[in-house]
Amino acid sequence: MKMKLLALTFLFQTYGQSLGQNGSRPNIVMVMTDAFDGRLTFDPGSKVVKLPYVNYLRELGTTFLNAYTNSPICCPSRAAMWSGQFVHLTQSWNNYKCLSANATTWMDLLEANGYLTKMMGKLDYTSGSHSVSNRIEAWTRDVQFLLRQEGRPVTQLVGDMSTVRIMRKDWENTDKAAQWIHQRAASSQQPFALYLGLNLPHPYKTEPLGPTAGGSTFLTSPYWLKKAFSYVSSELITLPKWLPMAAMHPVDYYSTFTKNCSGDFTEEDVRSIRAFYYAMCAEADAMLGQVISALRETGLLNNTVVIFTADHGELAMEHRQFYKMSMFEGSSHVPLLIMGPGLTSGLQVNQLASLVDLYPTVLDFAGVSAAGSVSGHSLVPLLSKARAFSKKPDWVLSEYHGCNVNASTYMLRRGRWKYIAYADGQSVPPQLFDITLDKDELHNVVLKFPDVQARLDKLLRSIVDYPRVSTIVHLYNKQSFADWQNSLGTNYSQVIANLRWHVDWQKDALANERAIDKWLYGFL
C-alpha cells in the first residue's frame, strides 16, 4: 500500500509545492505526549498546575473539553490515531499486537501529496514491541489467580534547582525537532508535517525491580516542582476519593491488585504521587514550548497548525490506581488542543472527540482525501464559532483488551452518560456513570437507570459486536500464549517463573502452571 501511495508523489509534487509556496496549505505539527491527563488543559484542572505553553494553545486556539483515547494504553491508542480506525478494526489488542509495519498512516498520505514529512520520538504503533512480561500478562489475564504486575507506585526526587532536563531522551528528540524546523522546514518549498512523540509524563521504570519492572516511579526535580506550582497553591492537589476494596467493581478490584495498589497509602503518599506527576506534566509542557518557539523564530508559526494531544491519561492514584488501562476519566480523557491559521482563538468545544478523529482532521487541513473508510470524522468544521455542518456522531468509543484488566472492556460516552460493558455483556456486570453529577465516578447507577443502560447497550452493539470481539480476543490470547510456550520448550518453567507474576510464584510454581494449563487446554 505504501508503494502505491509513494507512486502518487510524482503526480502531486508540483501541485503540492506550489500550494506550499503560496501558503494555501498549512504546515502541520503534532506533539503527542504519553499519559497526559486531558483535564489539566481546561478549568478547573488547569488551575492545579502551571502549563504556560498548553495555556498558549488554549488562548490562541481551540480546546476540546471532551476528548478521549480509543484505548487507554500506548500502542493500541496510537494505532487508532495513525490509522483513523477503531481498535477492533485494526485488531490492536495489546502493546504487542498493533498495526503492521506497512500500514498506511496519515503521514504517508501527506508525503504522497507533496508534504515534507518527519516523525521523531516515540511512535509505538506497530506490532512486536514491549517486553515479554507485558504481552504474557495480556495473554493470560483470564487465568484464575491474581498477578502482581507492577512495582508499587513511588516518588523519587533527583537533582536540585538547576536540574531541568530529567527525561533526557525526550529532550534530545525535542532538540532534534527544533533543529529540523530551523534547518529543514524553514528552507523547504513544500508544506511540512512534523510529528514529535514524547515519553513524558509517563512514569519511569522502577529500576530495583529489574528490566521487566513496570512504569511505577514518578520522578522529577525540585526545579519542576517549583515551576509547576509557582503560581498555584499545592493545596489544590486533591486527594481522590476511593471506594472500599470490597465495594469495587470486580474488574477495578483486579486492576488495583495487579497494579500493586491494594496496600496502605498515607495521604502524604498520594499527594506526593500527584504532585510529582503534575511536575512531570510541566516538563512535557516545556518541550511543547520549545517546538512552538522554533516555529515562531523561523516565521513559520502563522502558517502552521499545531496539535497537542496524548495517547491516554494517568490515574495518579484516582480510584486507588496509577497508570492507565481504565475507562475512568483520569485514564481515558486526553488533551486535544488545535491552533492554526484562520482558526478561532480561545474556543472551547464541548462536542465529544477521540484520537481516530485526528486522521481525517489532519488530512482535511491538507486538502487530502482519506484512503478507504475511517472510524473518525474531521474536527475542522468545529474549529470556528460559525461551526460548519459536521457529520460527527454524538458519541465516542474506547475499548481495552490488554494487561492489568481481566476482561475486554468497552466504553461508550454519550451526553452525560458513560457506559462501560465487559466481555460478553453478561458474565461481568456493566457500569453506568452520570459524568455531570458524579465527576468522581464513584456511583454506578446501572441498576437505577435500566432504560438508559438498555439504550446505550443497543447503540454500543450497533457500533461494535462486542461479545464477538471479546471471543476473538480470548482465542487470540490463548493461541499466542500457546505458541510462545511451545517456542520455549523445556525452558518454559524457568522463563515464566522469572516474570513479574504473583508474589508467591516461586513458592506456588506448580500450582500456577497447572492453573495456566487448565485455562489453556481445559485439563488439570
Q: Where are the beta strands (DSSP E) in 71-158?
A: 116-121, 154-157
Of 74, 261, 281, 403, which residue is the catalytic one? 74
DSSP SS3 for 371: coil
Query: Which grid coordinates are listed for 138?
Result: 495480556
Alpha-carbon distance of 350 to 2, in angstroms, equals: 36
Alpha-carbon distance of 492 to 486, in angstroms, equals: 8
Residue 339 contacts residue 29 (beta carbons within 8 Å):
no
Looking at residue 272, its amino acid is S
Alpha-carbon distance of 438 to 354, in angstroms, equals: 22
Residue 445 contacts residue 429 (beta carbons within 8 Å):
no
CA angle 253, 256, 258 (to 5 degrees): 105
Active site residue 74: yes
- CB burial class (10 A; 0-12, 13-18, 19+) of residue 437? exposed
* Count of CB atoms situated within 10 Å of the CB of 77: 32
Looking at residue 60, its amino acid is L
Alpha-carbon distance of 107 to 128, in angstroms, equals: 21
Q: Which residues are catalytic?
A: 74
